[in-house]
Amino acid sequence: MSKSTFVLTDRDGLTQSICNLHVDDGFLVGNLNSQEFPEAFTKIRSQFAVKEWITLQDKQHKYLGVQTWQNADGSVSESMEAYIKEIQTIPVKRGDPEDRRLDAAETKAFRSAVMKLRWPAQKLLTQVLYGVSALAQKVNEATVQNVKEINRLIKLAKEEATAGRASITHRPVDLGQVCVVTYFDASLGKEDGYKSQAGLVTFVTDERTLTQETNANRVEHQSKKISRVVKSSLAAESASLSMAVDKHLYARVLLQALMHGEGNIGADWRKDLTVPGYVITDARALYDHITTTGSLPAERATMMDLLSAKELIEQALIVMRWVPTQHQYADHLTKNMVCDLTKQYLEQGKVCLIQTGADAEREQHKATLRKAQRERRKERMKKTKTCVTSHVVYRW
């Protein structure tokens, strides 16, 4: 845990206040109904000359482009709508060849636009994170086509901000049965040079999410190029699994420290975890390799990733679950796509590891639409075939 984070616990070992410091700024939360927090707050105010105290229940506070406030129900909201709307697109001349390399001044403007959009993408705007991550790898070799792509992402970010999806609300969860859930995904060879991309998103929620929609707070998300060369979907998913498990375990140990104090973290700290965790994939082949006994892949790095994860599962340190792709929250972090799950989460703030009744109805509606589309496509192809046949000219 960061040395700038301080946790105040009561006699029972339960956290009553957390203070986080960064240079000359600080963030303090606490339980007003406890005995410890009011006393600690009084001592802090008497010992330190703090220029200004801002109570988030009374007014919003802007810090590094993020507006933060506390709602009446105790939830805390963050928004970057104002910041995003100030980001400007880069002018592009009509007819300018898309494959033309940018000059020094244009490269500087392109780098600036990518970095400006990357900040909200890393904070809360996951809808554009994959695209921004891909462009950040091309800054030194950027072309006009890349400029058009960052302009598209900026416009998309502004549309999401206008629709109210450039903000996120952290809702209360039951700390008595708290758990950490990490979704991970990978795409194979879709980047320049046939590189692959890994994505993950981690939620803090409680055990009710196993059976019903439950409040879940997104605490981390990432879209990153897989550094090594992978030759199959299984290899890409295994590399993503390795990164996701590391992030997942760290999130659990950090949450445990915030809830009960840092304690003694030794060599076997994984076995001392009391916060349960679930790792979620939509790759059936990977799930079967991990959860059943069978042959191992020939690729050494993939084999090591699988064996490492399998050991953690056999020791009951993590639980792996499989979900269909339409319930994969990390799907949009590995490819350019519109993610309905993300829209739904930002509106409701809930996650469920099984299909709910509402999900079943939506899937049935989509299946009906897809069936109708297939039928219309068949009719069009049939008419086209009939038209071509009627105009055939025979020669001999």
Using one digit for the tens of pLDDT, what is the confidence trace for 354-368?
876 666 666 666 667
For residues 210 and 309, state if they share a domain: yes
pLDDT given at position 12: 86
Q: Do 88 and 157 contact (CB within 8 A), yes or no?
A: no
CATH number, domain with residue 282: 3.30.420.10
Residue 290 lies in a domain: yes
Residue 367 lies in a domain: no
Residue 365 lies in a domain: no
Which of 44, 79, 114 terminates a domain? The answer is 79
- Structural tokens at position 235: 């290899």
Q: Do 261 and 13 contact (CB within 8 A), yes or no?
A: yes
For residues 339 and 196, state if they share a domain: yes
For residues 122 and 270, state if they share a domain: no
pLDDT given at position 366: 66
Residue 361 lies in a domain: no
For residues 336 and 205, state if they share a domain: yes
Q: Do 333 and 222 contact (CB within 8 A), yes or no?
A: yes
Residue 116 lies in a domain: yes
pLDDT given at position 396: 46
For residues 188 and 302, state if they share a domain: yes
The better pLDDT of the pair 338, 3 is held by 338
Q: How confident is the model at residue 395 (pLDDT cuts 50, 70, 90)?
A: very low
Q: Within a 13 Å sphere around the CA of 205, how many CA atoms are in the beta-carbon half?
A: 24
Q: Do 170 and 230 contact (CB within 8 A), yes or no?
A: no
Q: pTM score, two decimals?
A: 0.85
The mean pLDDT of 76-93, rounded to a whole number, is 95
- What are the angstrom distances between the C-alpha of 98 and each of 92, 147, 389? 10, 9, 41
Average pLDDT, rounded, for the chain: 88
Which of 79, 98, 119 terminates a domain? The answer is 79
Residue 234 lies in a domain: yes
The mean pLDDT of 159-171, rounded to a whole number, is 94
| pLDDT at 348 exceeding the cut of 90 | yes
Q: For 122-151, how does the pLDDT look when each residue is reduced to its tens digit (9 = 90+)?
A: 999 999 999 999 999 899 999 999 999 999
Q: How far apart are CA 24 and CA 4, in angstroms?
A: 11
* Host domain of residue 331: 172-354
How many distinct structural domains can be found in the chain? 3
Choose from 193-202, 236-245, 378-387 the range with maximum mean pLDDT: 236-245
Q: Do 44 and 36 contact (CB within 8 A), yes or no?
A: no
pLDDT given at position 266: 75
For residues 254 and 276, state if they share a domain: yes
pLDDT given at position 385: 60
Written as one letter, the residue type at 380 is R
Q: How confident is the model at residue 297 (pLDDT cuts 50, 70, 90)?
A: confident
Among 81-85, 110-114, 236-240, 367-371, name the one with the lowest average pLDDT.
Answer: 367-371
Which of 114, 136, 162 terminates a domain? The answer is 162
Among 59-63, 155-159, 276-280, name the one with the lowest average pLDDT.
Answer: 59-63
Residue 167 lies in a domain: no
Residue 302 lies in a domain: yes
pLDDT given at position 350: 94
The mean pLDDT of 253-257, rounded to a whole number, is 91
pLDDT given at position 394: 46
pLDDT given at position 71: 93
For residues 62 and 97, state if they share a domain: no
pLDDT given at position 307: 87
CB-based burial, 207-246: b 16+ in 10 Å, e otherwise: eebbeebbbbbbbbbbbbebeeebeebbbbbbbbbbbbbe
Q: How far apart are CA 345 and CA 347, in angstroms?
A: 5
| pLDDT at 388 exceeding the cut of 60 | no
Choose from 204-208, 258-262, 310-314 the range with maximum mean pLDDT: 204-208
| pLDDT at 196 exceeding the cut of 80 | yes
Residue 321: strand pairing partners: 280
